[in-house]
Structure 1
Amino acid sequence: MTLPFAAVLCDFDGVIRFYDTAETARLERAAGLPEGITSEIAFARERDLPALLGKITTEQWVESIVTGLSELVPEEQARRLGEEFASAEFRVDEDVLGLLRRVQAHVPVVLVTNATLSLEADLASLGLTHFADDVVSSARVGVVKPDRRIYEIAAERAGVAPRQCLFVDDRRENVEAAEALGMTGVLYGGIADLEKALDMIS
């Protein structure tokens, strides 16, 4: 079988892994805060970038979230919210995993993700330590999407040229950066997007 790409580079969160945010939302409502404010604070560039670059631990990132929340609610509530947000349960989309495993019969699959230093432990907890042919974590390589270098590293790990890669991500800016390097991009909004890109895999 001849495929139009020699490797699949795939995001993790928002494509394979999804979080249960119901308890965080409940705690926000109970504290009189707008839903989503914890996420907004957590992912503010000044807080999450050091964690995504591996410059601080996940625990230090949580402390920075608590500090931000403490400006809005008492410290006890802020800590409960921050810790719940960081420890929220997550699941994988088994259908997406199934598709990617079928792809692996033909080409390598490399995870390319903006992640904290906890990624390896998370993969292990999901039984996915050995799922991908390689994992390019921003916290380990010291560069985050959409910086072109992380895509180049992923292509190098896959052993192919960027133009031979299919790149899948749920954020438009990340897909556009991959396409600028000559990769075929898939903006992921649901499994149908991945199925369409991979419909030549039998």
Structure 2
Amino acid sequence: MVAALLISGCGYQFAASGDMLPASAQTIYVERFGNQTRVTGINDELMRYIKDEIDLHRRLKVVDSPDAADLELSGEVRFALQTPTNFNSALEPTQYNQSIVLSAMLKDMHDKKTIWSTNNVSSGEHTPVVPQTTVATTPTFLQQNLRADDIANMTDIQTAQSQTASMQDLMMQRLAQHLYAQMADGF
């Protein structure tokens, strides 16, 4: 009981409730984000995740035109990097760290004022790229459409492609979740 009161008193919320969004706002237009990275198309890929996350919360309806929107979300992918972090005895990478950082701004389309902005929404994932470093019992792995035997029979390149795609998907989902939470709850 005391813990519940402390948690509710500190402003912490378990899900983005959208309390900081204008009460009259019903629609949002998500402008194509800019891309300051060397990763072609990462901004377009991210758009799908952002729109899906907004739809998931059912607080706002995503529209296809800024003229039909109460709010406009815009931003820029500022940083995207994939760096090897672990190596085998031949100094070949066995694990990579993927990370992405973006800035974003939410504008009220009726009075043309910025109501929220941030320069640092980020997400990152550690990605095993060889069968020997892939832990087939983690919750992340178990959500994939693979079994431990599948990974054991894959080549290093197949494992790298499979795990990189899976971890990038997870990273983009989490980035969209972080962005929505900050935008909707104002922190």
The TM-score, its normalising length taken from structure 2, stands at: 0.24
Greater helix fraction, Structure 1 or Structure 2: 1
Greater strand fraction, Structure 1 or Structure 2: 2
The TM-score, its normalising length taken from structure 1, stands at: 0.23
Question: Per chain length, whose mean CA-contact separation is higher, i.e. which structure has more relative contact order (CA < 8 Å, sep 6+)?
Answer: 1
